[in-house]
Amino acid sequence: MKYNSHGDFEIKVEDNTIKITVNFAWNKECANEFVTSVKNVLENQMQASSFVVLCIIEEEWLPTSDSLSIFPKLTEWGVDKGMKKEAFLFKTRIAETLMLENLLAPLEESDCEFKSFKNESEARSWLKSPK
């Protein structure tokens, strides 16, 4: 059975940074649209051979369990394409727990650095610092 997509995301390119904001309840269909959009942005708008990601997880973001499975695969793909760091800005503890358990745990052996923040300016400073 196919469902309509629900959830919200925004993707912007700022120099060598991809800024992603996610919000509202996500289902698998929204997650798949998100993957397609991120890949399109990376392949068509990024000029740098390496890049960083700032991911802002809004208060209302609540993914279904089947939508969470896409994140490790997308992150692995990003690392293969040159992602060096990913900073997460969590607005709620539950979102942080969901992401840490479902995204970062499978990627412990990655060359990419991951870190969570409560403040966007601190996240941006870390992303700009040398690896």
Q: Note down pLDDT in tens along the chain; length 131 residues.
A: 677 888 899 999 998 999 999 998 888 999 999 999 999 999 898 877 899 999 998 877 778 888 888 888 888 899 999 999 999 998 777 667 766 666 665 566 678 888 889 899 999 999 999 87
The answer to the question of residue 129 being in a domain is no
Q: Which two tokens stand for residue 13?
A: 């390119």
Report how far apart the first and last C-alpha atoms of the chain are (Å, whole number).
45
Residue type, 8: D
CATH code of the domain containing 32: 3.30.750.24
The answer to the question of residue 102 being in a domain is yes
The answer to the question of residue 27 being in a domain is yes
The answer to the question of residue 127 being in a domain is no
Q: What is the pTM of this model?
A: 0.86
The domain tally of the chain equals 1
The answer to the question of residue 109 being in a domain is yes
The answer to the question of residue 2 being in a domain is no
**Which range of residues forms the domain containing residue 65?**
8-122
Strand partners, 56: 21, 89
